Amino acid sequence: MGSSSLVVRTCSFLIMCAVIAASSSSDSGAVSRRNLLGNGLGSTPPMGWNSWNHFNCIIDEKIIKETADALVSTGLAKLGYNYVNIDDCWAELDRDSKGSMVPKKSTFPSGMKALSDYVHSKGLKLGIYSDAGYLTCSKKMPGSLGFEEIDAKTFASWGIDYLKYDNCNNGGIKPTLRYPVMTRALMNAGRPIFLSMCEWGDMHPALWGYTVGNSWRTTNDISDNWDSMVSRADQNEVYAEYARPGGWNDPDMLEIGNGGMTKNEYIVHFSIWAISKAPLLIGCDVRNITKDTMEIIANKEVIALNQDKLGVQAKKVRMEGDWEVWSGPLSHYRIAVLLLNRGSVATPITAHWDDLGIAPTTSVRARDLWEHKTLSSTFKGNLTANIDSHGCKLFVLKA
């Protein structure tokens, strides 16, 4: 077995972009090592929580503090969910007299440094949001375009650990020019900050993102329904070969617990994100989390698959009608296999050894990660399971 008011310093910005574009184009070794980003972060996909999917713009420091508390009290923090990420709408529209962003006084009266200190006191990390444009997507905050250096230094001074960097209101400037400017600024800010590029797969960031960010969105925003979720998975899977430790494909945040899908569909959601080595960023209200949601996002065996040190994203190895087999190698000569039924009726699905890269005569043990049991039989040549509509089975195979 083998194993994305406001006056911008346009001239200096364009000059900087030209320099970066020239240096990037001259480096044909983008895959060999980063030419811009070398922050040592993201050796495994990030895990944590983000405010947008559940709260949108209705956020304040009380919600952020209570979420940090809940990540600890539920045990999710011990499982690896360590980032507490604030999305859009946290800042005043106007910068201060020095050009710095200002937290909104009505919702973040204590300021971001105090909030960062609180989150860090819980053993967690604080993430923040900005945009590689003139305004953020909500148009309620200034973007960082032209202010990359000052914003990066501001974020570092607040103790920020993660930056989600969006793509709205960008003046039509290509993301391949805009995003590297923030990369350089973060590298000079004096603090390691995970850079999550949220450019929606606009210019195929998987092809160039590894030198610029720690993760890159390969899709448009997810919605809390089956069709949206599986379509994001499909779009993300195309770029599987470009994911690796330090740089991950991102099909957007988790919707589990927000109520738009069934429990089985949410299990599929978590299974695909895990086997795809996607960031596991909870998008529900963890202060009021249900038992069903906890059973899904707190599955240690599925989390371990996502966090496997080998860092290889799974691919679809067979598709027939409404069913699919996804597979990818894991450390210690193991293989992850997902049997997925996208249809409306239950159906048997078979994983064949020749699709998985296993010698046909090899006898294999199978561990069911949702049933938490190793199947009593050994398997040779293939493995078949009956899969419910909009359901899945997730196995780890080992000879």
Q: Which are the catalytic amino acids?
A: 166, 221
Please give the Cα distance from 96 to 262 (Å, whole number).
46
Please give the Cα distance from 145 to 110 (Å, whole number).
26
Q: Which residues of 152-167 are buried (b: 16+ CB within 10 A; e: fewer)?
A: bbbbbebbbbbbbbbb
Q: Are 191 and 162 in contact (CB under 8 A)?
A: no
- Looking up tokens 């039989």 gives 377
Task: Kindly provide the residue ranges of all beta strands, DSSP E only, lying in 132-276, ordered along the sequence.
Answer: 162-166, 194-197, 215-217, 248-250
- Looking up tokens 């940090």 gives 68
- Looking up tokens 């390691």 gives 192
- Do strands 162-166 and 334-341 pair parallel, antiparallel, or not at all (unpaired)? unpaired
Secondary structure letter of residue 70 according to DSSP: H
Q: Are 218 and 205 in contact (CB under 8 A)?
A: yes
DSSP string, 316-342: EEEEETTEEEEEEEETTTEEEEEEEE-
Q: Which among 391, 397, 396 has a CA at the least distance from the CA of 349?
A: 391
Q: Are 370 and 393 in contact (CB under 8 A)?
A: yes
Q: Which among 153, 139, 250 has a CA at the least distance from the CA of 199?
A: 250
Dihedral sign (CA 137, 142, 148, 153)? negative
- Looking up tokens 């000569």 gives 333
Partners of 128 in the β-ladder: 163
Q: Are 281 and 253 in contact (CB under 8 A)?
A: yes
Please give the Cα distance from 389 to 371 (Å, whole number).
18
Phi–psi pair at 286, nearest 5 degrees = -70, -10
Secondary structure letter of residue 288 according to DSSP: G
